[in-house]
Amino acid sequence: MDKIELDPSPSILIESMRDIGYSFETAVADIIDNSISARATSIRIQTRTAPKPILAVVDDGEGLGRDELLQAMRMGSTDPRKVRDSQDLGRFGLGLKTASFSQCRKLTVVSKCDGAMSAFYWDLDDVAETNNWQVTEIQGDDEILSKVAFSDLLVSDHGTLIVWEKIDRVVGVEGNRDNDTTAVFNRNVSDMLEHLSLVFHRFLKAERGYKRVSMSCNGREIEPIDPFNSASEATISQQVERLSGGVTIQSYTLPHASKYEDAADYEYYGLRGGYIKNQGIYLYRARRLIIHGTWFGLAKKKPLTQLCRVRIDIDNQHDEDWKIDVKKASAQLPENVRLSIKSLLNTLYSPSRRVYQRRGAKQVAETNFPLWNAIKDNGNINYLINDEHPLIADFKRELSTDATKQFDLILKMLSTGFPIDSIRFEISNDPDSVAAPKTSTEETRENAVAFFRAMKGSGLDDLTILNAMRTQEIFAHCWGDVLSALGIEER
């Protein structure tokens, strides 16, 4: 049998590689992976929109000599099967090239090692024209400084600069009439910053045993977004569980909305898409976030578990087991880990369920003279207006027989017309969006006086009435105003 060598067509293959599935933000994150692997402690992103969009990433990492840089420009420059340094975030030796080509047609890399500067660039238009795997070298420091954008940022004797030019994959919002490339590019950069703040939050914050990595964009510091809000005293963190293969798992229950003084802070930790979407597992490979907001098919995303986020840490030696892809944006659970997590699921998200169940129980707990009765019937719970409430009973006593019948009909219609389906729908999407109507301070004061007088007319003593009022949501949230309206000083 004859073996026939079939070399791929460079111009066709390299264009196909552009559609491997990177977004703008995941592509930039892949570039930053290289900087961290090079032990950089400072990473700066620079963008420019005129005359054409351009992006550069410069770091103070170890840098590469000429031959090392030339090898790094090769497609598939590293064997994914080899044992890596524990801090190496790469895998295939493709990320630099595929991430860059997914967004731009010209990639330039300048690196300094021991003060010596080297530079090469890929231009996909050149590859298409020659149909050869050819990179171009820029020789001489002066030539590099004059021809490469932002090369003046390589101020120390070591570090690397990556420049994207001919950026042709800038994508805006689907259906948006705004065709201004500058505006769309700036939106992409804004989304990228949010992505980097989350993906690299453990590097951006000084974590015990590791050096902090500072990142900035156009001179503005990138701040970490901790998806677990671990600094909050209201966050519930469980003990770390150690699974086989060096896998560790820890569950966090985020604070309920009522624990935040500022609604904006609550929304901030909901992340892009909100709490329900972002509940679930957060998988970290060598401290770098790979995938988040998924239960990997082990559970459904439910409102009751929306505050649960589970951190899983793995090293960089088991990528094949976890099916880590080239983009480092997807993964699969190994079967042994899947079984372990499945057995722990109830323990992991039970605190989140308790937070909402306790809150729900508080709303329907037996109070003094509740306005609603929860009636259990064959496994169902029906909510009916309590017509024995002193305020309602007192009002009915003043009615004629016909008016009483009409009033009872109104109460029944209000109870049976309770919009349960609508409420269930809204709660399934965002439980905290469902709230009772708010009243002004003046309305509350007037209602408090009327309520007190009506209850007093039923023969109840002051203390019983006040205890009943304190359990009513309409009065409880502004108790000081209620007492002031009644002319009572609480001791």
Locate 106 and state its tokens: 């010209």
Report the alpha-carbon distance of residue 292 to residue 248 in Å, rounded.
16
Tell whether 287 is covered by a domain.
Answer: yes
Provide the domain limits for residue 406.
366-435
Tell whether 3 is covered by a domain.
Answer: no
Domain boundary among 363, 389, 417: 363
CATH of the domain at 42: 3.30.565.10
Tell whether 1 is covered by a domain.
Answer: no
255 upstream amide cis, omega within 30 of 0: no
Same domain, 320 and 342: yes
How many other CB atoms are found less than 10 A from the CB of residue 137? 12
Same domain, 300 and 425: no
Tell whether 230 is covered by a domain.
Answer: no
Residuewise pLDDT in 10s, the chain (491 residues): 888 888 888 889 888 888 888 999 999 999 999 999 999 999 999 999 988 999 999 999 999 999 999 999 988 655 444 444 545 444 435 779 999 999 999 999 999 999 999 999 999 999 999 999 999 999 999 999 999 999 999 988 999 999 999 999 876 545 444 457 888 999 999 999 999 999 999 999 988 889 999 999 999 999 999 999 999 999 999 999 998 888 999 999 999 988 898 889 999 999 999 999 999 999 999 999 999 999 999 999 988 899 999 999 999 888 888 988 888 888 999 999 999 888 888 888 788 877 766 655 544 445 567 777 777 766 677 778 888 777 788 788 888 888 888 888 888 888 888 787 777 767 666 666 777 777 788 888 888 888 888 888 777 788 888 887 887 777 877 888 888 888 887 65
Same domain, 268 and 417: no
Same domain, 340 and 485: no
Same domain, 401 and 347: no
Tell me how many domains the chain contains.
4
Domain boundary among 154, 187, 221: 221
Among candidates 24, 90, 40, 38, which has minimal Cα distance to 215?
40
Report the alpha-carbon distance of residue 467 to residue 67 in Å, rounded.
82
Report the alpha-carbon distance of residue 370 to residue 377 in Å, rounded.
19
